[in-house]
Amino acid sequence: MKNKLKHELLNQFPRLNELANKDTVLWENTNWEKKASTNLFSMEEVGEAEETLKRFSSYLTVAFPELLESKGLIESSIQEIPLIKKALEKEFDLLIPGQFILKCDHALPISGSIKARGGIFEVLRHAERLAIASGRLTIEDNYAVLATEDFQTFFQQYTIAVGSTGNLGLSIGIMGKKLGFNVVVHMSSDAKEWKKALLREKGATVIEYEADYSVAVEQGRREAEQDPMCHFIDDENSKDLFAGYAVAAKRLKTQFEKTNITVDNAHPLFVYLPCGVGGGPGGVAYGIREIFGEHAHIFFAEPVASPCMTMGLMTGLHDEISVEDIGLDNKTEADGLAVGRASKFVGKVMETYISGCYTVKDEELFTSLGLAMNSEGLFLEPSAHAGMFGPIQLMKNGQNYLEKHDLVEKMEQATHIVWATGGSMVPEEMREEYMAKVVRVGRTND
């Protein structure tokens, strides 16, 4: 079925014009509810995911000695970034009241991105189901046995497949190969060479596409359907992925308690999450709103060339509209966010949960990359910098939102969480390439 024509869409949904023009926009979700709800997903599933991850902790410390210190927990820290806040305020000539905190998922162990939550979780859960169904494992066992050769041989019969812009493939490839699975990663044209090379080195099969993410996913899904021994990790629809991401919210609550960060009526929480197809930010947002309720205000960040979730939510069309439908090319340096069509499952769940979405230009991502390096020596990949613009967008274009929700007077007591979604595994040469781009395209050096 051919979608509606561009001019029809722009007529019916006038705000799409700004997106079609690649303007940076802040879109407010008027379906937001204090007490958000969905019948598509439940916190029970998040609790189960957390339990599953706990069962795997003994295996994980054996398979990845870097996890010994955290006792097998794959988690990242939170960190105040006052220097970056100051640098952004200066660059954009405004004040951001409240505390500026980085959620360091760029430094998550094993695969260095937010995908180390959902992606790794789904591989583990699949492994557990297979092992239990075969009678080789019970949930009372010490899962360290999964690191033995017997289990490696057992998992070798099975294949895990996935379509990815890079980081999801990396997480699933590293985890899947460690357990012994065959892994096939269908990589979109945006995927960086080093991610493909690293996967091949780990023994995964990488299939490259000239086309974008949606095509890579579709091909992967189709091939996997023909192989009964193959499990396809479906980034567009998977509840397991979503559950794995959502666990982050429970852990964040504990981190807040330990560091005396209060979230209540007088202390609002703002969270800015870079968004591709939606699973990562969606899972985190779901968990945070379930836990912190109406005091949490969540915004998704997308590149101006790939605002698929913004469009899906704005129009209510979800996966029935793509960025190409309004003439955008889905080409961005934020490779992890280069997705032209959003997940319908995530979009539907998010309807009453998120406060809104905003878009960022690539040049702003590089400006932020430069500021973060120069002020705190912090390196994040371009995708992850989309979160940095949340507080700026909110202060510049979000007055209406702040007034409507009675937040203006509370902003000095606010906490802004910028969710850093990836970067610690980016090789040195690539970092230097990015830094060279900061000079060429960053705003500061226009």
Ligand X SMILES: *Cc1c(COP(=O)(O)O)cnc(C)c1O
- Contact residues for ligand X (CB under 6 A)? 113-115, 167, 274-281, 336-337, 381, 383-384, 421-422
Which tokens belong to 366?
């590089």
Q: How far is CA 42 from the centre of its chain?
A: 19
Shortest separation between residue 217's beta carbon and ligand X, angstroms: 11
Strands 182-187 vs 159-164: parallel, antiparallel or unpaired: parallel
The sign of the dihedral angle between the CA atoms of 246, 248, 254, 257 is negative
Q: Which residues pair with 416 in a beta bridge?
A: 100, 270
- Within 10 Å of residue 119's Cβ, how many Cβ atoms? 34
Distances (CA, A) of 61 to 122, 155, 303: 18, 19, 37
Q: Of the candidates 351, 337, 338, which has an alpha carbon nearest to the alpha carbon of residue 275?
A: 337
Q: Which is nearer to ligand X, 78 or 233 (CB)?
A: 233
Strands 159-164 vs 230-233: parallel, antiparallel or unpaired: parallel
Shortest separation between residue 152's beta carbon and ligand X, angstroms: 28
Q: Which is nearer to ligand X, 81 or 273 (CB)?
A: 273
Can you tell me the distance from the alpha carbon of 66 to that of 60, in angstroms, rounded to the nearest whole number? 9
Q: Which is nearer to ligand X, 78 or 384 (CB)?
A: 384
Residue with tokens 């793509």: 322
At residue 414, φ and ψ (nearest 5 deg) are -80, 155
Q: Which is nearer to ligand X, 274 or 390 (CB)?
A: 274
Q: How many CA atoms lie within 13 A of 7 on its CB side?
A: 0
Q: Which is nearer to ligand X, 357 or 402 (CB)?
A: 357
Q: Which is nearer to ligand X, 337 or 371 (CB)?
A: 337
Q: Which is nearer to ligand X, 40 or 68 (CB)?
A: 40
Can you tell me the distance from the alpha carbon of 363 to that of 443, in angstroms, rounded to the nearest whole number? 6
Q: Which is nearer to ligand X, 274 or 347 (CB)?
A: 274
- Burial string for 387-416 (b: 16+ CB within 10 Å, else e) reads bbbbbbbbbebbeebbeebebeebbeebbb
Which residue's CB atom is positioned nearest to ligand X?
276
> Looking at this protein, which amino acid is placed at residue 95?
L
